[in-house]
Amino acid sequence: MKNLIIITIAALAISFGKPPKYETVSFSVEGTCSMCKDRIEEALDKRGIRKAIYNPDEKMLTVIFNPKKLEVIQLHNLVAIAGHDTELVKASNAAYMALPDCCRYREGAKCDD
Ligand SMILES: [Cu+2]
């Protein structure tokens, strides 16, 4: 029993010392402009997320994250909380209405840039 505990602690210590293994995931997110890009990428500026890149033209988001810290659905939720619908999670009306007029993608808004 004591040996088992020691082995477990040793295994934990080794796994903590390892650099995290990142995974890359891409999914579609509604958005219109560079302001949307900044907002979406900022919403994903969290622990366990190494990089988030949103392409408003293709409406695709790519996230490099640590799957030990976050699940993919949490990435969708973070984006939806910022007001943007993803292919899995719809933003609440309140979050959507907090967006500036030119970012209201549900109404077909278009920004100048
Ligand atoms: Cu926008």
CATH at residue 71: 3.30.70.100
Q: Is 69 helix (H, G, I), strand (E, B) or coil?
A: coil
pTM metric for this prediction: 0.82
Amino acid at 49: I
Centroid of ligand 1 to alpha carbon of 6 (angstroms):
54
- Name beta bridge partners: 63: 25, 52
> pLDDT tens digits, residue range 17-50?
777 899 999 999 999 999 999 999 999 999 999 9
Note whether residue 3 is domain-resident.
no
pLDDT value, residue 109: 82
32 CA → ligand 1 middle, Å:
5
Q: Name the domain count of the chain.
A: 1
Q: How many Å lie between the centroid of ligand 1 and the Cα of residue 36?
A: 4
As a whole number of angstroms, the distance between CA 102 and CA 100 comes to 6
Nearest to 52 by CA among 33, 81, 26: 26
* Residue 6 within a domain: no
Q: Tell me the pLDDT band of 76, cut-offs 50, 70 and 90.
A: very high
- Tell me if 4 is assigned to some domain: no
**Cα 35 to ligand 1 centre (Å):** 4
For residue 13, being part of any structural domain is answered with no
Domain containing 32 equals 21-102
Flag whether 85 is in a domain: yes
| CA of residue 50 to ligand 1 center, whole Å | 23
Residue 92 forms part of a structural domain: yes
On whether residue 9 sits in a domain, the answer given is no
| pLDDT for the residue numbered 75 | 98
Contact 59, 79 (CB under 8 A): no
* Mean pLDDT along residues 102-109: 92
Q: How far is the CA of 95 from the centre of ligand 1 (A)?
A: 14
